[in-house]
Chain A
Amino acid sequence: MCKLSPATGDPVADFTGKVGDQVQIDVSGTNGQATIQQGTSYADQPLAAPWQFTIKAGNQVLSVLVADPTVNDTVVIEEVCDPNTKNTLLSYEFHPNAPLARLIILGQP
């Protein structure tokens, strides 16, 4: 089951989730072997593979540092809801000059 949903109507937060829920993220590239890099963090806490975090209260930053060998490859940052379900958080064209994607996640009771 997916834990994050779009923060509709909130100009700052991108997604909302319930405080205490655990979220796992992943990235994929259309042509390139996109990977999450060391430095990725949530609420200022460094994450490590398998890139899981527990939702905290308020607006928190999920910082996803991505590397992709293919410039301008379409990269998707997604929530891994279960082995067969993925929830797209952000789809964009990767460029090595802008490798860091930041998503604001609003943790609610």
Chain B
Amino acid sequence: MTAPKLSTLAISLVLVTAATAQPASAQVDSTAPQSCQNLGNYAFGNDQVAKDLLSSKDFREWPEGTQKQFLALSGDNLTKFACFAGGTEGYHKFLQAVEDARMDKQTGAGATSEGTTSVVSKGIVSQVMALAVEEGALTRTDNKSIATFHGNGLAIARLFAGHEQFPYCAIYDHSCESALARRLGGVSFSISFDTTQSTGALPAATTPSANKGVLASGPAQQVSGWGLRYDFNAPKNTLATQFQQDFSAKMKSVDGTNFVKSVNELMSPLDAANPPNQAYVAWKEKYLRLLARVSHQDTSGMADVLHQAVVELTDLARKNPKFQTQLDTLLSEMGHYFGTRDKALEAIVNWFTGSFEYNDDRPQNQPSQSNLKVILSWRPSSSGSSTSAGPLQLTLNGSAAWYDHAPPQGAVKRFRDAQASLQADRTLPDVTDRLGAALTLGYYFQYMADNALLTIPSGNLAPGTSISLPGAASVLLGTKGAIHIAQLGLTLTVKSTGVKVPLTLSYSNRTELIKANDVRGHFGVSYDLDSLFAGRSTTP
């Protein structure tokens, strides 16, 4: 067994957006921040209580209770007000909190890469683009620095078109995005670059231990791989009795106390002050009066009045010296509640999520090879979810790899290997208010159908021998058989920053090219731009 060593440094830069969302909106207020324009018919107004009335009756004909609730600090108006008052920065803060509460996505290379930190490919990938720089291999002996770029064509197009990148969609709100967008959004690509400095000529392999030297040196491939991927899921019928029961059971674990408290701290000085806040009373009376003068058919007039209403309400609320702090808290707590809800429901929303992935790997000193992978991800319904620990997530990978070109003179079979891996992730109770933690346990199995094939330029010596190699492709003897890798990991998440620190320990009985067991410690620093760029668009 080799000595444990820290060999992997991962720095993941992630640009992720929910760019496939296509929220429906009738009349939007063009002067509101872009991120707020899809929240309802108008910049302000509790649409929920007046859906049928808005388009059929003048405001003055509505029941008094409905009129008051339409302007109340309740329901839709809470989201609209927070979004309007918080602007783009506030929306960013909200989405950052949502992302903080969700699970990891696949941002780096797969398990067979020369630079990776994971034994499985995750069931969730970045939705626009991601860049991961990882160092160190799991199944191979070499330690390359691999930069992997993930991209989603549809989402990138939306990014450059200046569309909102991060409209929030609840995990079970299937009407939030169009069917076409959902399907196209499942297609993504990746390309990996070997950023390791080339050392030039291969060293001569004159001693038994020189295999590593041969494998770890030599000219680096600039493009070390590329891939295509299609993600899909099988959603459950939300009207089914079983789903409804499961939904209620899961929601029992979601605590909205801090969310509600943050709303009331901001809003109660306006609408629940004792004695009543006369400025707020005057505001409400004014807009009840103004709305009563507008016909329901005059949508432009309604938009003007309601826009003015939210502008004046924001000015009024800003007179509270704690306004900005309380608004920031509300946005964070609302995002946390929505993210926690999504995470709790993820186990029951879909039967499973799946992916088909094709990768073409071009490892150093080896012939290029193709890999077809199936990824299934699900959460056992019995795993539960408590307020202290998140639900269990299981990810299963199965794949087969073959050489892109038939090996010369039939040296080895063209079918190279088969792989299977399983990983379990579980969010642990928070370490502190600012530090979250998740535990990972993974197992990887690979069966090498034949001895590995190396590409070593003519004139070099065969690894461990003094035999001069005759040509471009050579068989590395004794490498056929099974590879087992076990991995235990802890990921620390610094909340509201996008920074994650994975710490893992892996054991393998051998690597692809070296028959000796190996224990490795892996340390990574991941900077998740998903939350950093949440809510930003290319338009002002």
Chain B, 66-116, CB within 8 A of any chain A CB? 68-69, 72-76, 78-79
- Tell me if A95 and B76 are in contact (CB < 8 A): yes
CB A100 to nearest CB in B, in angstroms, measures 6
Interface residue A69 (Cβ < 8 Å from any Cβ of B): yes
Return the CB mask of B306-350 against A: 1 if under 8 Å, else 0: 000000000000000000000000000000011001000000000
- Tell me if A11 and B288 are in contact (CB < 8 A): yes
Return the CB mask of B254-285 against A: 1 if under 8 Å, else 0: 11111111011001100111111000110011
- Tell me if B69 and A14 are in contact (CB < 8 A): yes
> A40 contacts which chain B residues (CB < 8 A)?
256, 260
> B341 contacts which chain A residues (CB < 8 A)?
67, 96
Known: A58-B274, A65-B259, A70-B238. A98 touches B247 (CB 8 A): no
- Tell me if A71 and B68 are in contact (CB < 8 A): no
Known: A69-B238, A71-B175. A98 touches B48 (CB 8 A): yes
Contact of B272 among A35, A39, A59 (CB under 8 A): A59
> A52 contacts which chain B residues (CB < 8 A)?
none
In the complex, A35 Cα to B173 Cα: how many Å?
17
Chain A CB within 10 A, most for which of B172, B243, B260, B280: B260
A-B contact count, CB below 8 Å? 150
Interface residue B170 (Cβ < 8 Å from any Cβ of A): yes
- Tell me if B243 and A69 are in contact (CB < 8 A): yes
> B274 contacts which chain A residues (CB < 8 A)?
57-59
Interface residue A31 (Cβ < 8 Å from any Cβ of B): yes
> B261 contacts which chain A residues (CB < 8 A)?
39, 41, 44
- Tell me if B72 and A102 are in contact (CB < 8 A): yes
Chain A, 50-109, CB within 8 A of any chain B CB? 57-61, 63, 65, 67, 69-72, 90-104
Contact of A33 among B75, B244, B263, B275 (CB under 8 A): B244
Known: A14-B65, A61-B271, A98-B79. A93 touches B263 (CB 8 A): no
- Tell me if A59 and B239 are in contact (CB < 8 A): no
Interface residue B149 (Cβ < 8 Å from any Cβ of A): no
In the complex, A59 Cα to B271 Cα: how many Å?
8
Chain B, 35-82, CB within 8 A of any chain A CB? 39, 46-49, 51, 64-65, 68-69, 72-76, 78-79
- Tell me if B239 and A31 are in contact (CB < 8 A): yes
Chain A CB within 10 A, most for which of B68, B267, B281: B68
Show 18 A/B contacts (Cβ-Cβ < 8 Å), sorted by A.
Answer: A14-B69, A33-B244, A38-B252, A38-B256, A41-B261, A61-B268, A61-B272, A63-B260, A67-B251, A70-B239, A72-B175, A91-B49, A92-B75, A93-B47, A96-B341, A97-B79, A100-B74, A102-B72
Please report B residues at the A interface, Cβ cutoff 8 Å: 39, 46-49, 51, 64-65, 68-69, 72-76, 78-79, 168, 170, 172-175, 238-239, 243-245, 247-248, 251-252, 254-261, 263-264, 267-268, 271-276, 280-281, 284-285, 288, 337-338, 341
